[in-house]
Structure 1
Amino acid sequence: MTPETRIRAGFALTLALFAALAFFALKSGRAVYETGPAMEVRAADGAVVFVWDKPVEAPMAYRFREAFKAARSSAGRIVILLNSPGGALTEGRSVIEEIDRMKRTHHVETRVAAGSTCASMCAPIFLAGEERVAAPDARFMFHEPTSVDYFTEEKADKPAFEQRMDAERFFERYFERSPMDAAWREKLRQAWKGQDVWKTGAELVAEGSNVVTRLDGS
């Protein structure tokens, strides 16, 4: 085999590999929407309630979009009940975009019930609600974003300066542009560096964070 033939063969093999990966990704993506976790939807107190008690991952945004299409004419208020450890930033961003679309025509309330948790990427989703209700013992966790390897799903190490840049971009996008109280936000900016910051619903209200606008039952 001549050098030119080897180059052509290697190029063809590379193209075939990329085509196979693209097909696998497309097939896997479709399967997520067909077989991925469902979302409970119910009616309560004149509102339509979306219940998401799973990680923030596909097909969460798709489930929100389809549920809203089906329920938009039955009520003017949407309640999103969250209990999630967080998850994928890209999926969380898509979920927030769906909530923003809902808010164009409906009042959207986010909730975290007693004994439930809203951690990591769940917190920006919670902040997207126009009214944000939590039980006094509901637990919230804020931390800097982490990078995950697509194939191994393990935490990917990045240089320190890249991690700082990622954290600043995340903070600006989801917290500086949120209804979070400005003074409390700056305290969070200092507190979350390299660690998880846990707060209860009662603590968030007592500290004037404006993360939670009302305690459940108050």
Structure 2
Amino acid sequence: MPSGSGDVASRQILSIKEEPDSIVLGWSGPVQEPMSERVAAALDRYETDPRRLVLLLNSPGGSIEHGRKVVAAIRGRDRAIDTLVERAGVCASMCVPIFLAGTRRMADPEAYFMFHEASLNSNARENLKQWEISEAEKAFFSQAVKTKVTDELFRHDIGIRGVSVAWLAGMRKKIADRDVWMSGQQLVDEGSGIVDGLVRAPAR
């Protein structure tokens, strides 16, 4: 069922697939309201169910603030919740910290992950436009904010359990002014620690 409103609503779907030994919650769409509320409600629904819980992700990313709410919803449950990205699936930008919130983080070798610098939200861009300073100064402040937010994102949201510090530092340098795409296989081969293991069989 689509959730949210407007254009975002048409691109947000939460599916639920029950199997004898697992429950797969499939999220497809941007990381924006009301993702955290819908994922939390689904997790609450199966709070006492003994079957394995899997959050299947296919997302272009979205809001850092809202992504952190989704992460909190996952980590706030007193049970294992695995994350998975299937073949040809995408986990980009703020989807990556959500993927990392999984107890066991699995991906198809041909799943794709994307890393990039943080972007200023619309409010920040509008506020910057109103400053009575030169365009060069606006560009400088814009880049300074992006750098600070990106550093915080890498340190607190991506640099967590099992992720290689050296690999993360290298990726932080690579993403300057560009998107970096990597497959599940490449992440494992490089020892990133982002993906715990590769799976070829679909979860549903």
TM norm structure 1: 0.76
- 1:98-148 deviations in Å (ceiling 9; x for gaps): 01012x2x1111000011100000011111112111111101001111012
In the TM superposition, residue 159 of structure 1 has moved relative to its aligned partner by 2.6
- 2:23 is aligned, of 25, 48, 59, to 48
- In structure 2, C-alpha distance between the alignment counterparts of 1:148 and 1:128, rounded to whole Å: 24
- 1:171 is aligned, of 122, 144, 154, to 154
CA contact (8 A) 1:48 1:75 kept: no
In the TM superposition, residue 77 of structure 1 has moved relative to its aligned partner by 2.5
- 1:194 is aligned, of 167, 173, 177, to 177
CA contact (8 A) 1:128 1:178 kept: no
Q: Tell which structure's C-alpha radius of gyration is larger.
A: 1
Q: Which residue matches 2:190?
A: 207
CA contact (8 A) 2:21 2:52 kept: yes
- In structure 1, C-alpha distance between the alignment counterparts of 2:100 and 2:146, rounded to whole Å: 23
- In structure 2, C-alpha distance between the alignment counterparts of 1:152 and 1:210, rounded to whole Å: 34
- 2:54 is aligned, of 79, 85, 91, to 79
CA contact (8 A) 1:57 1:88 kept: yes
In the TM superposition, residue 217 of structure 1 has moved relative to its aligned partner by 3.3
Q: In proportion to residue count, which structure has more helix? A: 1
- 2:111 is aligned, of 138, 147, 154, to 138
Q: Which residue matches 2:73?
A: 98
1:58 aligns with 2:33: yes
CA pair 192-45 structure 1, distance change in 2 beyond 3 A: farther
- 1:185-212 deviations in Å (ceiling 9; x for gaps): 1211211122111100010111111111
The one of the two structures with greater contact order (alpha-carbon pairs below 8 A, sep at least 6) is 2
Runs of 4+ residues over 3 Å off in structure 1? 35-38, 150-153
Amino acid paired to 1:181: S
| Residue ranges of structure 2 left out of the alignment (5+ in a row) | 130-138
CA contact (8 A) 1:204 1:211 kept: yes
Indicate the SS of the match to 1:141. strand
- In structure 1, C-alpha distance between the alignment counterparts of 2:50 and 2:18, rounded to whole Å: 9
- In structure 2, C-alpha distance between the alignment counterparts of 1:45 and 1:130, rounded to whole Å: 20
- In structure 2, C-alpha distance between the alignment counterparts of 1:115 and 1:97, rounded to whole Å: 27
Q: How many residues align?
A: 184
